[in-house]
């Protein structure tokens, strides 16, 4: 469903399983930091609201969105985690670079989901302009970080049920 029809931060709190025993990794891009740090804040706050202890949230920063896949794989290989969230922001420009980065990250995260026995959550904003990114990083459409955190908790629950 298009974000214009649903706020990324709206969800039924009671529909999210208890996450108190979970360890979650988050890989976040430094590119478009003003946006990605808000996504990270949203994800961490939502995880903590559902019981994930701060010490059980492992954060790894990578230079750009294309590097999210490598960072997520390295995090999965180095830590015992229940899920990994990838957070980034790619804004369309005047060249095809946007298409290559978005496609690469999408394919990479898909591959990680098939290679590992934990869920990798796609929290990459792919927008036409910075205004759309701001609207999805705590603005009028909520925060994609919140949505990614809820998805991670629910997918961990699916993985262990």
CA distances from 98 to 17, 63, 91, 93, 158 (A): 35, 16, 7, 7, 32
Assess whether 157 carries a catalytic annotation: no
Choose the catalytic residue: 33, 79, 97, 111: 97
> DSSP states of 89-124 as a string?
EEE--SSTHHHHHHHHHHHHHHHHHHHSSS-EEEEE
What is the rounded radius of gyration, in angstroms, for the C-alpha atoms of the chain?
15
64 contacts 31 by C-beta, under 8 angstroms: yes
What's the CA gap between 79 and 148, in Å, rounded? 20
Active-site residues: which are they? 97
């Amino acid at each position: 469903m298009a974000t214009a029809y649903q706020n990324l931060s709206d969800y039924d709190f009671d529909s999210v399983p208890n996450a108190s025993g979970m360890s979650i990794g988050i890989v976040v891009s430094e590119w478009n930091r003003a946006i990605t740090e808000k996504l990270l804040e949203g994800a961490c706050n939502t995880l903590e609201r559902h019981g994930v202890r701060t010490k059980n949230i492992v954060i790894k920063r990578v230079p750009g969105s294309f590097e999210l896949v490598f960072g997520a794989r390295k995090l999965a290989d180095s830590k015992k985690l229940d899920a990994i969230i990838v957070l980034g922001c790619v804004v369309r420009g005047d060249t095809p670079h946007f298409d290559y980065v978005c496609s690469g990250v999408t394919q990479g995260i898909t591959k990680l989901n098939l290679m590992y026995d934990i869920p990798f959550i796609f929290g990459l904003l792919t927008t036409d302009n910075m205004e759309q990114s701001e609207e999805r990083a705590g603005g009028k459409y909520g925060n994609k970080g919140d949505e990614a955190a809820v998805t991670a908790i629910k997918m961990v629950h699916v993985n262990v049920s």
